[in-house]
Amino acid sequence: MESQTKVTRTKVVKDPHIEVLLLSAADVKTPLVEPRVELKAIKTFRGMEGHGFNADVYIDGIRCFFVMDAGNGGCYDYEYYFHDKTADQRKAIELKINELNLYIESLPPVKSEYFEGQEFKQDLDGYLNEIFIKYLEAKDLKNFENKLKKLYVHALVIGVPDSGKYSFIDFKQPLKDVPKARLQQHYTILKSKCKDGRVFWNPNLVGLGIAL
């Protein structure tokens, strides 16, 4: 008798007209490779219980489905991009969603942040939430770096590296227009007072002729 592969029905997308047959991760013998998952066309908004978002989800470069976190404390909502797709295109989308869910199912449980000693199985909601959090962190970092880049033009900036906290002296004009002797004097005095790991953040001091 030939062995049969066990198939489980998993309702991944909340659409009463769609249900895809998915293999269980336990049935896959080869190591699972994490698909390349990207959130695009991201929109954020304020919900009843924090911030929500919606986005298109791409798996290995294929736009597969739409996700929305309503920000109400509930589960995410999903919608496949099957509209106007050929049978082959639909099959490709189903395959990518299947691969993603198999990978997530293979992940070890994670410890609860709220209940000590408890673990919970990872799911699609949590996996996409982690990607969204990384997106927000990268966006905040880029905004922070752009703010500093503008500040370096007209101010001496001091802080502990990677702390996100800093102080500055604003000369109200580009540093390149400040007399070199005056700028050097301010730098030397401030440097002598730097304590607790604080250093100058300006990457442009050498170019301004300041002796470090």
Alpha helices by DSSP H, listed for the chain, are 87-106, 124-154, 180-193
- Asked if pLDDT for residue 106 goes beyond 80, the answer is yes
- Asked whether residue 166 is domain-assigned, the answer is yes
Q: For the chain, give the mean pLDDT.
A: 85
Report, as an integer, the average pLDDT of 165-179: 95
Identify whether 24 is part of a domain.
Answer: yes
pLDDT in tens, 185-212: 999 999 998 989 999 999 999 999 999 9
Q: How far is CA 135 from CA 37, 64, 101, 110, 132, in A?
A: 12, 19, 21, 21, 5
Nearest to 124 by CA among 42, 200, 64: 64
- Domain of 35, in residue numbers: 7-122
Report the distance separating Cα 62 and Cα 11, nearest Å. 20
Q: What is the pTM of this model?
A: 0.76
Domain count for the chain, please give it: 2
Distance in angstroms (rounded) separating the CA atoms of residues 57 and 131: 11
pLDDT digits (tens, 9 = 90+) for 48-85: 887 899 999 999 999 999 999 998 888 999 999 998 89
* pLDDT for the residue 56: 97
Structural domain includes residue 72: yes
* Residues 98 and 201 placed together within one structural domain of the fold: no
Say whether both 30 and 110 belong to one domain: yes
Looking at the structure, tell me whether residues 43 and 113 fall in a common domain.
yes
The pLDDT of residue 31: 61
Once rounded to an integer, what is the mean pLDDT over residues 150-173?
Answer: 95
Q: Is the pLDDT of residue 6 over 60?
A: no
Percent of the chain with pLDDT over 70: 85
Confidence band, pLDDT 50/70/90 cuts, at residue 33: confident
Q: Does a structural domain hold residue 202?
A: yes
Does residue 198 form part of some domain? yes
Backbone angles phi, psi at 18, to 5 degrees: -130, 130
pLDDT value of position 111 = 86
